[in-house]
Amino acid sequence: MRLKNLVLIVAALAIVVALAACSSAGQSSSGGKDQGKKASQEQAQKKEPPKKMSDEAKSKQVAPKEGAEGGPGNGENKLKPPKNDTLKLTIPAMKRIKNDTIPTGLGTNMKLFHDYAAVHLKRTGFPWQKTANVYIAGHRIGFPGTNSNLAFYDLEDLKNGDKVYLKDADGRQYTYVIYKKLIVPPTNLSVLKPIKGKNIVSLQTCTLPDYTQRVVYRAELKDIKT
CA distance 144 to 53: 9
Selected residue with higher pLDDT from 58 and 104? 104
Q: Where are the domains of the chain?
A: 1-47, 55-225
The answer to whether residue 128 scores a pLDDT higher than 80 is: yes
| CA–CA gap between residue 44 and residue 90 (Å, rounded) | 32
pTM for the whole structure: 0.75
Distance between CA 140 and CA 152 in Å, rounded?
5
Q: What is the dihedral of CA 39, 42, 44, 46, to 10 degrees?
A: -130
Residue 27, pLDDT score: 41
Report whether pLDDT(224) > 80: yes
Q: pLDDT value at position 67?
A: 81
pLDDT for res 10: 45
d(CA 207, CA 13): 70
Model pLDDT, residue 98: 98
Mean pLDDT over 109-132 rounds to 97
Main-chain dihedrals φ then ψ at residue 167, nearest 5 degrees: -130, 135
The CATH superfamily label for domain 55-225 reads Sortase (2.40.260.10)
Position 26 scores a pLDDT of 41
Q: What is the pLDDT of residue 170?
A: 97
Is pLDDT of 157 > 80?
Answer: yes
CA distance 107 to 114: 12
Which residues are CB-neighbours of 167 under 8 A, at least 6 positions away? 87, 88, 90, 99, 173, 174
